[in-house]
Chains A and B, each alone.
Chain A
Amino acid sequence: MSTNLRRDVAFPLVGAVLLFALFLGAGALYQGLLGGHERLVTFALIDAVIVLGMQIYIGNTGILSFGHIGFGAIAGYAFALLAISPVEKLKRVSDAPFGLADVQLDPWTSIAVAVVVVVVVAAVVGIGLARSGAESGAVSATVITLALLFVTHELARNWPDLTGGDRAGLSFRIGGALDTRVPIYLALFGTIIVARLFAQSRVGRLAVAAREDNLAARAMGVNPLIQQMLGLLLSVAVVGVGASLRVYEKGSILPRDFFFNLTLVTLVMLIVGGRRSVTGALLGVGVITAGRELARRLGQDGFEIFGIGLDDAPLDWIFRENLKTVFLGSAMLAFMIWRPDGLLDDWELDRWLRSRFGRRRSEQPATPPMVEVDGTDALVVRGIDVAFGGFQALRDVSIDAGRHEVVGIIGPNGAGKTTLLNVITGMVPADSGTVVLGGVDLTGRPSFEIARHGLVRTFQNLRLFSALTVRENIEVSALVAQTSRERQPPDVDALVAAAGLWEVRDRRARELDYGTSRRLELARAAAMSPSFLLLDEPTSGMSDAESTSMIEQVRLMAGVIGAGVVVIDHDLNFITGICDRIYCLDCGHVIAEGSPTEIQADPVVQAAYLGSSAQG
């Protein structure tokens, strides 16, 4: 595991230090050489904390949240209510509930309590998100978060006893606000580290897998809801810290401070830099801060740079403010149209450093030994019925498979083969019948549970985690296998080598050619160390030569993990070459069963494939 410690802890730490230094350096440059306001830089540092908090969730889960600033409002108000002195609170919220008017905690405890409060709220909201079926790109999740933003805003505006209302808000006494940057530096440094370590952690990786392909992740045993909840809680905690610091620095809080405007600013920062990367998020903060500043100056100095004066323009402060908003909105639009992945996509400084300086020439591992297979964990499928509307897709289908076998399922299009596979792996419910593995009834369980029990599948349409590298794809399954499988898979590197993927192990899945992609999908499934590999048309789209080599691949993968194989395919060459027994399906039920030779000679099978003559 030493490779992983370097990749997941050491390099991220080094990268974090560098990023922190670079960010601070940029700020110092701006302040020193370009005469920038100190406060601008301070706010940029705080915004970076908030944006990184958002990145932890939005970047890793792919779920767009409009609500993080709403969480920020909750933390901000909690912090203000705890940290502001009773004397000041008397002026605005003398009737505050829960006796908050008389409470005062030191600022750091206040931040801690505020974070606890907002994380609890996030847990409740998170349950709601999970129930709504949140998934990368889902509209329903985004709408819930938007509703949250509005709820907090409305509550803040209309509960003056608690929040000081819309006009007055809450404020520290003059001079009581934050006067040193040290806590902000600490918070930012800590946040960068936390964000990178999370992305490299088990939870982070599984969340990213679910982001790339929710269905495939579940088929590999990942429960996306858990990863998304954990990501949400961590991200909200970070945003809570950032929001509290923001209030502390500003010295006051009003409902409009944590509403649409801050949401727009932080989202644009995240998008511009690249929401999938911590380095990107920081870059986005820098670029947008600079851009806003430029827009503000243009508005203020009235284009004087270009020789056009606007000095006496009425209400030119409006011009200034709104030039900023026009800039932000335009930036958002421009990037969505031309570069939705942002400037850096998912590039990370420490990963680049590692690829340049951290590479050790590693040797290609030897092929793992074949595993002895015992008779346990047989797959027994009995009496499966599935109807879609009025259409009977499967009728009383039963198959058996042992772990020492390769069992094939063939049949014309529409015969129900993929439906059968979907039923076995829990993606489609059966109307009746049972799926039993090693005596354990798996019928009707969610797909990620079935995968963890030992039934893992590949997909007809090839579902890889496209942004992840070959190695990372396989690692996802290995990570899940660690906690769910008794019999551990071979080392990830050994599997990569056995699958013939050693040369491309650091290439992203989406860059691979078709045949290599198929082998990767197979290896990823194998890395779960399942009892059975269920393959859905693994040679679809392959040439005859590629199909033939697939026979060896499948035998090898199954052999090194000691799994049985159930394979659907149309390539009869491939099927007869690899299978010990074959079932033939037509019109939803089994019409023939036997060895390859028996099946090939069976006239019933021939008729099913070539089609029967006219009835009438």
Chain B
Amino acid sequence: MAELLQNLIDGLGRGSIYALLALGVAVIFGVMHLLNFAHGELITVSGYVAFWALGAGWSWYLVVPLIVLVSVTTSLVIERLAFSRVRGADDFTLLLTSFGVHFVVSAIFLLYVSASVKTFSRPGWVTDTFAVGSLRIEVFDTVVIGVTVLALIGTSVLLQRTMFGLALRAAAADFDTARLMGVRSDSVIRGAFALSGALAGIAGIFWLMRAGATQPTAGVNPMLKGVLAALIGGLGSLRGAVLGGLVLGMAEVLLRSRLPDSVASLTEGVVFLLIALLFIFRPQGLVAVAHAERV
């Protein structure tokens, strides 16, 4: 029982980060029908900036907002340079463009910065734990869960209570009709990328804190988790993306604790297998979004 609760909290901690990543992916997909394989690059770039800043003596209090800022900026730059030129293209083209962007950005990093891992100091409290009954809870997990809840509330407020959020939701539902209302396509898409960047930034803070290091390929794993979680949840549903992230985090933690030691390292592989099976039996994801075909 205690172990289950422990796993639950660990799973929530992990799942929260995945949920933020997935939400960032889903926001862009809703507006552009683009699955962003370059999402993880935002974390890579932020990681290097953090490394540089911490090395220059900045405290983590300053680095945290810096990471978010860098993430948003990078997101907007990528949109301007690459994705703006393939708007309205078919899915095949969009997928491959996103794939290409991922490679170019990560390779540029490898070119201009060293390939080696850059470590940096983590805030002291990251490894602290505290006891509740027979459970050992990581301070880190509680902070992550707390910040994620705040971020989700913030995003929800943004989407539900502001004109920008309204425009975004309308554009995701029916882009052409939104334009008839006067919503500008450029504004809405850039806004989506900025929001996606902010969410990736927040997720990135914790990802980097936990890793304590960065490298050119740092972005692959978060990107993968974000994309897969968004798909598990059902593309086109923001709620689904959050749910997908939580489910993925839980599944990873539970599997790792349940699998016999000899195959524990296969956890990732098994997770992918389960995801593949999910897509086979429920391709629309957990939260289905209706889709009509005009004959």
Contact = CB atoms under 8 A, between A and B. Distances in A.
Interface of A: 62, 64, 127-128, 131-133, 136-140, 142-144, 147-148, 150-151, 154-155, 157-159, 215, 260, 264, 267, 271, 314-315, 318-319, 321-323, 325-326, 328-333, 336-337, 340, 418, 422, 427-428, 459-461
B93 A340 contact: yes
B279 A128 contact: yes
A400 to B, nearest CB: 24
B39 to A, nearest CB: 14
Contact of B107 (A128, A143, A329): A329
Given A139-B35, A147-B228, 16 more contacts: A64-B95, A128-B279, A215-B293, A260-B220, A264-B99, A322-B108, A323-B107, A323-B111, A325-B103, A325-B107, A325-B110, A329-B102, A329-B105, A332-B99, A337-B97, A418-B295
A460 B294 CA distance: 10
Contact of B273 (A151, A329, A337): A151
B283 A336 contact: no
A64 B96 contact: yes
Max chain B Cβ within 10 angstroms of own Cβ: one of A133, A142, A331, A427: A142
B272 A154 contact: yes
A59 to B, nearest CB: 12
Given A132-B283, A319-B111, A329-B101, A159 B96 contact: no
A140 B293 CA distance: 16
B268 interface: yes
A155 B265 CA distance: 9
A332 B96 contact: yes
Given A147-B275, A159-B266, A326 B231 contact: no
Contacts of A128: 276-277, 279-280
A256 to B, nearest CB: 11
Contacts of A142: 95
Contacts of B133: none
A325 B106 CA distance: 9
Given A329-B104, A333-B101, A318 B269 contact: no
A379 B279 CA distance: 40
B89 A340 contact: yes
B111 A133 contact: no
18 contacts: A128-B277, A128-B279, A137-B90, A137-B92, A139-B35, A140-B279, A143-B231, A148-B276, A150-B224, A151-B276, A215-B293, A264-B103, A322-B108, A322-B115, A326-B111, A329-B102, A331-B100, A332-B99
Nearest to B89: A340
A321 B35 CA distance: 27
B281 interface: yes
A561 to B, nearest CB: 24
A271 B276 contact: no
Contacts of B101: 329, 333
A144 to B, nearest CB: 5
Given A319-B111, A329-B104, A333-B100, A133 B92 contact: no
B86 interface: yes
B258 interface: no
A220 B115 CA distance: 55
A267 B96 contact: yes
Contact of B114 (A139, A315, A460): A315
Given A137-B91, A142-B95, A151-B269, A132 B107 contact: no
Interface of B: 35, 82, 85-86, 89-93, 95-97, 99-108, 110-111, 114-115, 220, 224, 228, 231, 235, 263, 265-266, 268-269, 272-273, 275-277, 279-281, 283, 293-295
A326 B82 CA distance: 14
A151 B293 contact: no
A322 B107 contact: yes
Contact of A143 (B82, B273, B279, B295): B279
B272 A131 contact: no
Given A136-B92, A147-B276, A154-B268, A336 B107 contact: no
A333 B107 contact: no
Which among B102, B224, B275, B283 has the greatest number of chain A C-beta atoms within 10 A? B283
A332 B279 contact: no
A288 to B, nearest CB: 13
Interface-central residue, B99, B110, B220, B279, by most chain A CB under 10 Å: B99
Contact of B103 (A158, A329, A418): A329
A333 B91 contact: no
Contacts of A333: 82, 97, 100-101, 104
Contact of B295 (A322, A325, A422): A422
Contacts of B93: 336, 340
Contacts of B104: 325-326, 329-330, 333
A137 to B, nearest CB: 4
Contacts of B96: 64, 267, 271, 332, 336
A6 to B, nearest CB: 33
Nearest to A320: B111
B126 to A, nearest CB: 27
A259 to B, nearest CB: 11
Nearest to A155: B269
